[in-house]
């Protein structure tokens, strides 16, 4: 059974976002990290870059697979988890904690509302 | 076409994730590729390699037939020995790489192991040439009759010793004996493709379960994912990827296995290879260590001062080194260790350096 915390929302392509109304934290789900296996490389945008909901914003690679990352929300990147460059395995160990990827300044609550609830996402992974 | 299932499929179906490979539905990962890789480097792991082919060649002309269809010197083998070899076409291009066993009990009986999905083509190649040359030899494709379990790692000898009635300690690399393993009549050879000490156990398909279960108690079950990272760290070739008669046609000299070519024997491709040996190769198989973050993968371009000069055929993150490594072909003039090139990863050049293989210390 995979962890699907109810304090955030999800995208079908297995990214999550949390938001306090101004800043969203973005990462990939427990299900996604398990599917990928040992994560060995993460490519992320720089602070100041714009990302758009549904569009690629980076790449995550495990030993066996290369996977594009799709933005769950639109906005300006305000922080990048640089720890992942040296310790990409954090994505496996704590996908919802220290394995986070980006912080994004968001303007559009409607976008966040469109994302899947924890229950709907869990259903998709079962 | 439906994927062929290995005989142990039901035993580990719920413990592993699977991938299609060479027409077989094989376990790619049990717990974690990294953990499986480390188990083989540090202690011992077991692999189901039943997707490998088994072709048995016997009869008065068996030695001659084997000699004429493989690049190495089959006559150098005594019964109970094996050798790595290449199967080449008339132009000297590698069709497949294989282990040729001269079976222990008889002078004129061989088993060779083509790669997954190549068994039927190898069988036909042998039968067609036997008929063309009018040789007295029986050739049988016994791939479905035999399962194969690889026990690999520094503790492999101990593990195999526990499981068998025979004394495996005196075996040298390549030696093969008949022995009971977990009570099952098997062929046991001191071979493998991980760079560690190890054994491969060939036993009847319908009796492989007790063999696997016996080892699974003390050895880490490993999938094709770690098999790939282990062989890549050694610079070992993967058939169909590092060479392929259609997509990556290479001679043994280009592919770095010129030592398997016995030019003083007569085999298909020998004359073409004699010319290559004399003239040298334009491109050479090399190891590359990436000096920047990024993972080189199959098909990525290798560039020198902005010019594309070669390409990557295999690449991964080395679990042992914690650094990205790659194998590929570059012009021989750029193949010296220390040469600085770049690999293009998703449009970005990553600095890389030619290094000698194996990438890790050779055990």
* Residue B328 pLDDT class (50, 70, 90 cuts): very high
Q: Is A66 on the interface with B (CB under 8 A)?
A: yes
Q: Tell me which chain A residue has its CA closest to the CA of residue B316.
A: A63
- Tell me how close the Cα of A44 comes to any Cα of chain B, in angstroms: 12
* Residue % of chain B over a pLDDT of 70: 99
Structure confidence at residue B304 (pLDDT):
98
User: Average pLDDT, stretch B166-191?
Assistant: 97
| Cα B178 to Cα B104, B142, B172, B202, B203, distances in angstroms | 7, 17, 15, 10, 10
> What gap in Å lies between CA B225 and CA B26, rounded to an integer?
10
Per CB-CB distance under 8 Å, the chain B contacts of A43 are: 294, 346
More confident residue, B254 or B2: B254
Per-residue pLDDT tens digits for B275-323: 999 999 999 999 999 999 999 999 999 999 999 999 999 999 999 999 9
Asked whether residue A108 carries a pLDDT value surpassing 80, the answer given is no
- Per-residue pLDDT at B57: 98
Q: Is the pLDDT of residue A21 over 90?
A: no
**Position B1 pLDDT exceeds 90:** no
Contacts of B32 in chain A (CB under 8 A): 37-38
pLDDT at B2: 86
Residue A63 touches partner B, C-beta closer than 8 Å = yes
The mean per-residue pLDDT over the stretch A45-73 comes to 96
Please report the pLDDT score of residue B363 as a whole number.
59
Model confidence pLDDT, tens digit, residues A84-104: 999 999 999 999 999 999 999
Q: How would you classify residue A21: left for phi > 0, otherwise alpha for psi between -120 and 50, otherwise beta?
A: left
For residue B202, what are the β-bridge partners?
A: B148, B187
User: pLDDT value at position B9?
Assistant: 97
Distances (CA, A) of B270 to B61, B69, B277: 20, 10, 10
pLDDT at A110: 87
| B222-to-A37, A76, B33, B301 alpha-carbon distances in Å | 14, 43, 8, 31
Q: Does B33 contact A43 at a Cβ distance shorter than 8 Å?
A: no
Does A64 contact B346 at a Cβ distance shorter than 8 Å? no
| Inter-chain residue contact B324 with A41, CB threshold 8 Å | yes
B31 Cβ under 8 Å from any chain A Cβ: no
- Note the pLDDT of residue A44: 97
pLDDT of residue A14: 97
B106 has a pLDDT exceeding 80:
no
A54-66 pLDDT, tens digit each: 999 999 999 988 9
Question: B46: which strand partners?
Answer: B151, B221
Task: Establish whether B200 is an annotated binding residue.
Answer: yes
Q: Which of the four pLDDT bands, split at 50, 70 and 90, describes residue B194?
A: very high
Q: Where are the domains of chain A?
A: 9-125
Domains and CATH numbers, chain B: 9-52+144-234 (3.30.1360.120), 55-141 (3.30.70.1400), 258-355 (2.40.30.110)
Buried b (16+ CB within 10 A) or exposed e, B48-78: bbbbbbbbbbbbebbbbbbbbbbbbbbeebe
Q: Are strands A102-105 and A75-80 parallel, antiparallel or unpaired?
A: antiparallel
Nearest residue of A to residue B31, measured between CA atoms = A37
- Average pLDDT of chain B is 97
Q: Under CATH, which architecture does the A9-125 domain have?
A: Beta Barrel (2.40)
Contact (CB, 8 A) for B29 and B93: no
Q: What is the per-residue DSSP string for chain A? A: -----TTSEE-TTSEEEEESSSEEEEEE-HHHHHHH-SEEEEE-PPTT-EE-TTSEEEEEEESS-EEEEE-SS-EEEEEE-THHHH-TTHHHH-TTTTT--EEEE---HHHHHHSBPHHHHHHHH-
The pTM assigned to this predicted structure is 0.95
A63 and B324 within 8 Å at the Cβ level: the answer is no
Q: Minimal Cα distance from B33: which residue of A?
A: A38
| pLDDT at position B97 over 80 | yes
Show the tokens assigned to B242.
């590092």
Listed in order, strand segments (DSSP E) in B142-262 are 146-152, 176-181, 184-189, 198-204, 220-222
Q: For residues B43-63, give the mean pLDDT.
A: 97
For residue A12, pLDDT beyond 80:
yes
Give the helix ranges, DSSP H, for chain B: 9-12, 33-42, 62-69, 119-133, 156-163, 208-216, 224-234, 270-279
pLDDT at A107: 78
For the stretch B228-284, pLDDT in tens is: 999 999 999 999 999 999 999 999 999 999 999 999 999 999 999 999 999 999 999
């Amino acid at each position: 059974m995979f962890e699907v915390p109810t304090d955030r929302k999800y995208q079908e392509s297995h990214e999550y976002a949390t938001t306090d109304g101004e800043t969203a934290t973005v990462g990939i789900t427990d299900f996604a990290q398990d599917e990928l296996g040992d994560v060995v490389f993460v490519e992320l945008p720089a602070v100041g870059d714009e990302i758009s909901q549904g569009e690629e914003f980076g790449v995550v690679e495990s030993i066996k697979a290369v996977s594009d990352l799709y933005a769950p929300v639109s906005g300006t990147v305000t922080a990048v988890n640089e720890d992942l460059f040296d310790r990409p395995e954090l994505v496996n160990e704590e996908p919802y904690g220290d394995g986070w990827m980006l912080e994004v300044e968001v303007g559009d609550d409607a976008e966040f509302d469109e994302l899947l609830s924890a229950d709907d996402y869990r259903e998709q992974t079962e | 076409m439906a994927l062929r299932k290995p005989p142990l499929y039901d035993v580990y179906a719920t413990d592993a994730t699977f991938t299609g490979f060479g027409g077989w539905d094989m376990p790619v990962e049990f717990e974690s590729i990294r953990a499986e890789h480390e188990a083989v480097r540090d202690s011992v792991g077991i692999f189901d390699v039943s997707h490998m082919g088994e072709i048995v060649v016997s009869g008065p002309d068996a030695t001659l037939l084997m000699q004429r269809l493989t690049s190495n010197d089959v006559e150098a083998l005594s019964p109970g020995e094996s050798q790595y070899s290449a199967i080449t076409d008339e132009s000297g291009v590698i069709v497949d790489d294989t282990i040729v066993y001269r079976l222990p009990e008889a002078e004129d009986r061989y088993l060779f192991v083509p790669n997954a999905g190549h068994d039927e083509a190898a069988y036909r190649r042998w039968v067609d040439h036997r008929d063309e040359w009018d040789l007295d030899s029986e050739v049988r494709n016994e791939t479905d009759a035999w399962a194969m379990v690889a026990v690999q790692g520094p503790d492999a000898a101990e593990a195999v010793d526990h499981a068998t009635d025979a004394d495996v300690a005196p075996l040298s690399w390549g030696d093969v004996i008949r022995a009971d393993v977990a009570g099952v009549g098997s062929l046991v050879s001191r071979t493998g493709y991980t760079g560690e000490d190890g054994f491969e156990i060939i036993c009847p398909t319908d009796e492989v379960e007790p063999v696997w279960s016996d080892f699974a108690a003390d050895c880490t079950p490993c999938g094709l994912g770690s098999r790939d990272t282990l062989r890549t760290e050694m610079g070992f070739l993967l058939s169909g990827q590092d060479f392929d008669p259609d997509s990556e046609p290479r001679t043994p000299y280009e592919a770095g296995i010129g030592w398997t070519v016995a030019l003083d024997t007569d085999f298909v491709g020998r004359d073409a290879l004699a010319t290559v040996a004399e003239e040298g190769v334009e491109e050479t198989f090399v190891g590359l260590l990436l000096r920047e973050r990024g993972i080189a993968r199959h098909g990525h371009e290798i560039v020198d001062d902005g010019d594309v000069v070669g390409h990557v055929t295999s690449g991964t993150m080395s679990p042992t080194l914690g650094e990205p490594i790659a194998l590929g072909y570059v012009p021989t003039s750029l193949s010296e260790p220390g040469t600085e090139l770049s690999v293009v990863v998703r449009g970005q050049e990553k600095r890389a350096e030619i290094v000698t293989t194996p990438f890790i210390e050779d055990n």
